[in-house]
Amino acid sequence: MDGETLERWRRAREAFGTLIDLPADARAARLAAIGSGDARLAADLAALLAQVGELVDETDGAEAAAEPVAQRAGTVIGGRFRLLGLLGIGGMGEVHLAERTDELDRKVALKLVRSDLPIPVARARREQQILARLSHPHIAALVDAGIGDAGQPWFAMEYIDGARITDWCDRRALDLPARARLFARVCRAVQFAHRNLILHRDIKPSNILVDAEGEPRLLDFGIAKLLDGTDAQQTQTLAFTPAYAAPEQLRGEPATTAGDVYQLGLVLYELAAGVPARRAHEVARARADDDTPLPRVDQAFGALTVQAPDGADRIARERGLGVERLRRSLRGDLGRIVAKATAADPRERYDTAQALAEDLERWADGRPVAAHRGTFAYRLRKLVRRHRVATAIIALLALGLVASTLFAVHRAAEEREQRRQAEAAGRRADQQRQRAEILLGFMNDMFRQADPQNADGVEPTATQMLERAATALEARTDLDAVTHAALLTQVADTFNSLFLPGRAADSAQRAVNLLEPERERRSGEYLMSVGILLDALQMLDRSDAQLALVEHALPIAARTEEPAIWSSLLLKFRGAARCSRGDFPGCAADLREALQRIEGAPGARPAGVASTLHQLAVLLNDEGYPAEAVRLLRQALDALDRDPAALRADRETMRVNLANSLAAQGRADEAITLIEKGLAEPLGLYGSDAPFVEAMLRRSLARAKVLRGEYAQARELLAAPSGAMPADHPGLPRHFSHSHLVAARIALDLADPAAALAEVEAARRQVATESDAGATLLQLRVEIVHADALLRSGRCDLALPRWQAARERLDASIGATPSWIGAEISDGLGRCALAAGDTARAESAFTAAIAGFASATGEASPWTVRSRIHRLWAQAMASHDAALLDRLDEARGALAEALGGSARAQVWQTDLLIETLSSELRVPLDRSRAERADQARAAFTALTGRPVAFRDGLTGFN
């Protein structure tokens, strides 16, 4: 850097430091004064102020500088890029949104280097080569580059439609570990550039955008220089943002990778504490020493809590923490990482951006970090935190035991107030103290088991830990019955949460046996053990044992301090047992009574209300009452939202079931939105069941896609591999049966009954040997689709007895109340009667179907409208009244509205049905009806590759 340039740079630096601290009015006046003596310096300063986001009043000079920019919109650069608008102004030039003139739908960010900067053409071409080498998923790619007619270099970069990384994280209230992991990806991108001998030199939040997929993208390597340049001065430039410049940059020294690490540290400073670099530098500037280190990140945030408490509270909320909790988090290892990255001495910083990324990931994972010179105690704390499985198991056990202890202590305190029970209260207090000591010893044993040093360096699994705990409890003879039962209950509950109901039932049964003699005096502890045992028995499908245990425990529930809550829980389990045995009316009655009791019970958790609502909704949807199921599921989700301790897995499961019920009503768009949201979320919360949950979501999505006529997408979803799903998963037979039914519905919609029959047969084989309630209802659906396929194959003689048998089976299981299943059977019987020429019987059956569908799915559902179309068809065949064609036109419009569009198979089938009826009634087909019929034939031909005919009414939707 020559003496003249250095002197100019020093003047710019001093002026910038003064301007940035001035109020807006004073800053504008000072900038105008500088411009009167040195217009070029004023323009540089205005650009730098704009670059760090400072608001500068538009003086006459600023307007003159901005005017040429505004006039550039529409200008074509390089013969192939048309400028659309200004995106920003940087130290080296302007960045515009542009579009290609030789290619459709291609947007770029086009950087025009300032014409007043003396950049040689050779240097510009070399920068093009530098940018072309940066091919990385987190770096915006170079699209094109060139030199303008006036010798002005330009670079067309990939346009990233995203938000600044700080804004993106704040809007989503991203917690600190998530921010660290996201920023580590940015650091690795910078490391990639360094390995290619390229510096960035202007890393700041506005140069890091997060795109729609949540991936960070690093922008603007336009001021980078080759590290292997022969001229050391080539690594010096004025084109950086002062607030984010490293101390050595401000001193005019050659740039190194350490400068980029420093800038990364400043961005991390703001990501962590919400304190921008400019504010962090205020302390250093006040001391008039460039080498003064930045204040610790927790100190900067602490100062903000005093100076602007509302701002500090907002920053903490944007990180999902309280103010004091955030300050404590910043005081630990994360603060040390920031301090190391932003050390004033480059030698004290991280050696590489990769090292910074690795330390961030270690911190986010709870491991020791390089920025901390750790003591033994520090490493031990990190060791314990890393054993997440062990900690989770211990936490589950501890929470239950502590809750049990607090409950008993509370009762003892109340009893101490009563003189007659003072002695008993003292004995109970002693028992609780002993139980607490035992709890601490038990937890210490669990921690020792979790330490890999005590297991040949291998951390035990959760199952192994619980097996050892259960075995150890069985061998202990120093425990009283209540304490022993409490420990066994918590072990059993944890076995249940890990989907090991067999082991859970063993431990819970032992706890119930221990508490049986004390069930009257220890009713709360006893019923808690009973509830855990009932949960395990339900998963094991041991309904007889469930019913017997509930009947035995219900009288105890009535004598507790919370009879409504305990009796509601027991009734819910009895309902589930009755449902498993096929007693659907009894199941529904128990669930409704359980819901009535818990809804008004003092102290009832919203999650408990939600669980009962959910269970009842699933039963109603399976029975064919999706409208009521939707109402109950929405209530359940509202209740979960009121419970801060509700499990996310429960919420997601309810959303999926809500989507299925919406689809059963024909509300495809709402169902698809919910299911796609579920598929977009991480499924890790389902543990080993995640592959199965994903497969069910895809199948539900396929079913909804069929409703919308998107058959190719539905088939792709059904054909997707099952991933790591175990072949012996108990839910697979029903999942595959449902999948075959969806495939059968596709075949029926596309007039291929032979393929539908093959799919139905496969669906029947999957559940042929199952006999519980869920299988009963599924088998009914299989029979209904089978009968429909037979009818469309011209074998109504075989379809009719199947529908009749399905009706008898349905009446025996859920009764003769109107339901979707019963309505679909009535509609099928009506179409069989119409095929046989019995229009009176057909009209009666269709009327019953309309009533059933209206009750179960709603008056305007596609099911209800479909049966209305069928009844109009029967009436037209009976009366030969041409006026019914107009009513069919109206019903066609209602069906298109219910399905969300007229490009649906059932709407096209209606058009062909109207054409056929016109011919049979000898009514000339008007132009609009003829055109619709032609379009329907063309649509089916496009889907199937062959002409099709529908003479047996409209196909179904489920």
Location of structure tokens 């054993």: 387
Two structure tokens written together for 332 = 């630990």
Residue 581 C-beta-side C-alpha neighbours within 13 Å: 17
For residue 843, give Cα distances in angstroms to 251, 451, 850, 851, 878: 93, 74, 11, 13, 9
Among candidate residues 666, 660, 712, 662, the one with its CA nearest the CA of residue 901: 666
CA 166/CA 273 separation, integer angstroms: 10
Letter for the amino acid at 341?
A: A
Two structure tokens written together for 473 = 């409890």
Handedness of CA 164, 165, 167, 172 (dihedral sign): positive
The DSSP code for 683 is -
CA 334/CA 133 separation, integer angstroms: 33
* 918 within 8 A of 899, measured Cβ to Cβ: no
Among candidate residues 542, 566, 543, the one with its CA nearest the CA of residue 555: 566
CA 284/CA 262 separation, integer angstroms: 15
Cα 167 to its chain centre, rounded Å, is 20
Q: DSSP string of 581-645?
A: TT-HHHHHHHHHHHHHHHHT-TT--HHHHHHHHHHHHHHHHHHT-HHHHHHHHHHHHHHHHT-TT
CA 366/CA 388 separation, integer angstroms: 10
Two structure tokens written together for 81 = 């890029």
- Cβ atoms within 10 Å, residue 261: 27
- Cβ atoms within 10 Å, residue 227: 16
Among candidate residues 85, 44, 43, the one with its CA nearest the CA of residue 65: 43
* 511 within 8 A of 551, measured Cβ to Cβ: no
Cα 776 to its chain centre, rounded Å, is 33
* 328 within 8 A of 319, measured Cβ to Cβ: no
Residue 556 sits at the vertex; the CA angle it makes with 551 and 558, to the nearest 5 degrees, is 100
To the question of whether residue 705 is assigned a binding role by annotation, the answer is no
Q: Is 277 helix (H, G, I), strand (E, B) or coil?
A: helix
The phi and psi torsions of 578 (rounded to 5 degrees) equal -65, -40
The phi and psi torsions of 189 (rounded to 5 degrees) equal -65, -40
* 787 within 8 A of 828, measured Cβ to Cβ: yes
Two structure tokens written together for 38 = 């040195």
- Sequence length of the chain is 958
Burial class (CB in 10 A: 0-12, 13-18, 19+), 554: middle
Location of structure tokens 């699933």: 618
CA 272/CA 181 separation, integer angstroms: 12
CA 26/CA 31 separation, integer angstroms: 9
229 in the Ramachandran plot: left (φ > 0), alpha (ψ -120 to 50) or beta? Answer: beta
CA 157/CA 145 separation, integer angstroms: 9
Q: Which residues pair with 77 in a beta bridge?
A: 81
Letter for the amino acid at 941?
A: T
CA 919/CA 896 separation, integer angstroms: 23
For residue 894, give Cα distances in angstroms to 453, 888, 931: 70, 10, 19
Binding-site residue ranges: 111
Binding-site residue ranges for ATP: 111
